[in-house]
Amino acid sequence: MKILVPVKRVIDAYVKPRVKSDQSGVELTNVKMDINPFCEIAVEEAVRMKEKGEAAEVVVVSIGGAKCEEILRKALAIGADRAVLVETAGEDVEPLVVAKILKNLVEKESADLVILGKQSIDGDNNQTGQMLAALLGWGQGAFASDIKKDGDTLQVMREVDGGLETLSLKMPAVVTTDLRLNEPRYVKLPNIMQAKRKPLDKIPAADFGVDLAPRVAVLKVTEPPQRSGGELLEGSAAEIVQQMMDKIGNRIAG
Amino acid sequence: MTILVIAEHDNTALKNPTLHTVTAAEKLGGEVHLLVAGKSCDAAAEAAAKISGISKVLKADDAALEHQLAENIAPLVADLAQKGGYTHILAPAGTFGKNLLPRVAALLDVQMISDITEIVNATTFVRPVYAGNALATVESGQSLNILTVRPTAFDAALAEGGNAAIEDVAGAQESGLSAFVKRELTESERPELGDARIVVSGGRGLGSKEEFERLIPPLADKLGAAIGASRAAVDAGWVPNDYQVGQTGKQVAPEIYIAIGISGAIQHLAGMKDSKIIIAVNKDAEAPIFKIADIGLVGDLQEIMPELMKALDGLLGTNGMQKTA
Ligand SMILES: Cc1cc2nc3c(=O)[nH]c(=O)nc-3n(C[C@H](O)[C@H](O)[C@H](O)COP(=O)(O)OP(=O)(O)OC[C@H]3O[C@@H](n4cnc5c(N)ncnc54)[C@H](O)[C@@H]3O)c2cc1C
Ligand SMILES: Nc1ncnc2c1ncn2[C@@H]1O[C@H](COP(=O)(O)O)[C@@H](O)[C@H]1O
């Protein structure tokens, strides 16, 4: 089995994003960037399947500017075998475009399973995996918290509103990861060194024959209304609870 | 303009986010149809027909739709979209809609727009990005718009007062791509996290599952509140996954949100900063949650929680508030 894992380069999850004053977007120059956390979970899962002997090869792919090489190297350090960088002029492409390029790659690579993140933490789209499954005509296990390969089916436990749901997917299939699927390993220095020697192919996005133009225009990006903190109550527990009740007891009572 | 709303339901009853999505559909201006796709879903379809503002209910009743598998519903919706001449397809931005609509959009070659919080006009929408740290105003150049709607950003439509015709829709098919195995739902008598008037959320500061269970449910029950949690509490296995409030969990906007032992990471704030009143209990006066809390109680939750329960006994009586759905 060959697994394809698409990974996206995004702002570091622990950096507070700042809106640019010209309202054109979020400031990304000189801001720490990293692999999207859900994609890191996807890479980890694929590598574990390889380590269990369920997968023969794990190929990671990123669609974006030249700097995506950094996150591909990180994925290789986790344990992926090979990377593909689909190079664009740098700006973000929409999920439907990403899905169309990935469909091409899946066919070219004859992948049997694609594991994506459920959501990119910059665009918060939560679309690409489901779109790719539709384009390929494959089953989808979105928001997975557990994956088990069982012959030529895949048992996927999904995090849904209300609890957990388990589906059995016919292979080949698409899975998207939720936070509880696994905890990605710490990459060690030797793995980072090794990753530098693993193959990384670059293909211009234009070679895929997919129209890259956006269908949805971003007119402006603005700051959300800011909440200002209220009062901090300090003192003994009994005192501060009393102060709180004086202030909003009636609102609590409804 | 004709708008198709995909109802979220369990074959018997409609889920509340559907009502909020209907309000968003009405804001677009145009005829609103509601699709109830399920198995033996008459009761849900009848409830749908009563919603004020709906002009037609489409009922697709088929064994293939029983478990709401995206692989089986998506082709049906795509087909309806093409035949029905719809300009917009909407679903609530819960796990049901997020799973289904991108699949529909790809089948129709449409770039969908996720999680809208405002409708500027029929093709221009506002949506939060970067965990709600930025709001993007986007304009679609497409003749069909496919949108998921953040329920907390729109009021609920009236569940009564309408009298729409129910039309049967045939043609659902088993895709053979996926099969339902089981569902383990979190049983709770408490109000739904998404619609509760008060939400009590616990975080890592509670220290253990035992302490979470000892301190949080009694407070929630006294207040007739729903229980939420931070990712840390969910990851630790103290509470089920669907309690997670935040960027990648549930979005809530109750009248009162009470955060106990939660630091206030941006991913958590993304899910609750639209609450009307935020109360936070944290022993660290520098915790980021205090930057947005209306009332911050600085101190050890082990000392504050018993005082809070006592004070609420005084305010509400020992039985607490009536449970409100
Ligand atoms: C991709 C991604 C997605 C994420 N999505 C979400 C999400 O949807 N929702 C979410 O919540 N998080 C999410 N997170 C995680 C988030 O970044 C934080 O790690 C998490 O919210 C922290 O949870 P916490 O506040 O309970 O724990 P901590 O940050 O550890 O805070 C615990 C707090 O408790 C206080 N405390 C400790 N003991 C006491 C005491 N005795 N009395 C009073 N106070 C005490 C401490 O001062 C501290 O402020 C996500 C992270 C990533 C990377
Ligand atoms: N530019 C990209 N390159 C590679 N993978 C991507 C890209 N954009 C999205 N993905 C994948 O799709 C997932 C969901 O992204 P999104 O639909 O944008 O929320 C991500 O976690 C990635 O696995």
Number of domain units in chain A: 1
* Any domain includes A240: no
Tell whether the model's pLDDT for residue B323 goes beyond 70.
no
Confidence band, pLDDT 50/70/90 cuts, at residue B317: confident
pLDDT given for residue B132 in this prediction = 95
Report the alpha-carbon distance of residue B13 to residue B19 in Å, rounded: 12
* Any domain includes A239: no
Residues lining ligand 2, judged by CB closer than 6 Å?
Answer: A 6-8, 36, 38-39, 42, 62-64, 95, 98, 116-117, 119-120, 123, 125-129
Query: Higher-confidence residue: B135 or B322?
Result: B135
Domain of residue A152, residue span:
2-208
Confidence band, pLDDT 50/70/90 cuts, at residue B306: very high
Mean pLDDT, chain B, rounded, equals: 96
For residue A68, what is the domain's CATH number? 3.40.50.620
Q: Which two tokens stand for residue B195?
A: 């619609």
Q: Which two tokens stand for residue A241?
A: 């609870």
Beta-carbon separation of A164 and B241 below 8 A? yes
Beta-carbon separation of B129 and A221 below 8 A? yes
Indicate the fold that domain B2-168 takes in CATH.
Rossmann fold (3.40.50)
Report the alpha-carbon distance of residue B25 to residue B3 in Å, rounded: 7
Give tens-digit pLDDT for B158-171. 999 999 999 999 99
Tell whether the model's pLDDT for residue B324 goes beyond 70.
no
Place of tokens 């997917």: A169
Give tens-digit pLDDT for A98-136. 999 999 999 999 999 999 999 999 999 999 999 999 999
Q: Is A251 on the interface with B (CB under 8 A)?
A: yes
Report which ligand 2 atom has the smallest distance to the Cα of A5. 23
Chain B residues in contact with A248 by the CB 8 A cut-off are 256, 277, 279, 294-295
Residue spans per domain, chain B: 2-168, 198-324
Binding site membership of B201 for ligand 1 (Cβ less than 6 Å): no
- Residues ≥6 apart with Cβ < 8 Å to A105: A4, A61, A84, A86, A111
For residue A163, which of B120, B73, B240, B296 has the smallest C-alpha distance? B240
Indicate the fold that domain B198-324 takes in CATH.
Rossmann fold (3.40.50)
Tell whether the model's pLDDT for residue B322 goes beyond 80.
no
Report the nearest-CA residue for atom 8 of ligand 2.
A8
Report the nearest-CA residue for atom 28 of ligand 1.
B263
* Any domain includes A10: yes
Report the alpha-carbon distance of residue B269 to residue B262 in Å, rounded: 10
Pairing of strands B118-121, B124-129: antiparallel
Mutate to test the pocket of ligand 1, among B227, B282, B292, B297 (most ligand atoms within 8 A of CB): B282
Give tens-digit pLDDT for B257-293. 999 999 999 999 999 999 999 999 999 999 999 999 9
pTM above 0.95, yes or no: yes
pLDDT given for residue B325 in this prediction = 39
Beta-carbon separation of B178 and A242 below 8 A? no
Report which ligand 2 atom has the smallest distance to the Cα of A177. 21
pLDDT given for residue A229 in this prediction = 85
Report the nearest-CA residue for atom 47 of ligand 1.
B284
DSSP code per residue over chain A: -EEEEE--EEE-TTSPP-B-TTSSSB--TT--EEE-HHHHHHHHHHHHHHHTTS-SEEEEEEEESTTHHHHHHHHHHHT-SEEEEEE-SSSPPPHHHHHHHHHHHHHHHT-SEEEEES--TTT----HHHHHHHHHT-EEEEEEEEEEEETTEEEEEEEETTEEEEEEEESSEEEEE-TTS--PPPPPHHHHHHHHHS-EEEEEGGGG------SEEEEEEEPPPPPPP-EEE-S-HHHHHHHHHHHHHHHHH-
pLDDT given for residue A91 in this prediction = 77
Give one word for A187, left, alpha or beta, with left for phi > 0 and alpha for psi -120 to 50.
beta
- For residues A156 and A146, the answer to whether their CB atoms sit within 8 Å is yes
pLDDT given for residue B188 in this prediction = 86
- For residues A200 and A72, the answer to whether their CB atoms sit within 8 Å is yes
pLDDT given for residue A254 in this prediction = 80
Tell whether the model's pLDDT for residue B131 goes beyond 50.
yes
State residue B200 phi and psi, 5-degree precision.
Answer: -110, 120
Report the alpha-carbon distance of residue A216 to residue B193 in Å, rounded: 32
* Any domain includes A217: no
Any idea of the CA torsion for A74, A16, A180, A64, to the nearest 10 degrees? -40
Binding site membership of B251 for ligand 1 (Cβ less than 6 Å): no
Q: Which residues of chain A have pLDDT under 70?
A: none
Place of tokens 């796709």: B37
pLDDT given for residue A19 in this prediction = 98
Give tens-digit pLDDT for B59-93. 999 999 999 999 999 999 999 999 999 999 999 99
What is the B267 CA–ligand 1 centroid distance (Å)? 9
- Residues B135-161 have a mean pLDDT of 97
Number of A:B CB contacts under 8 A? Answer: 280
- For residues B21 and B53, the answer to whether their CB atoms sit within 8 Å is no
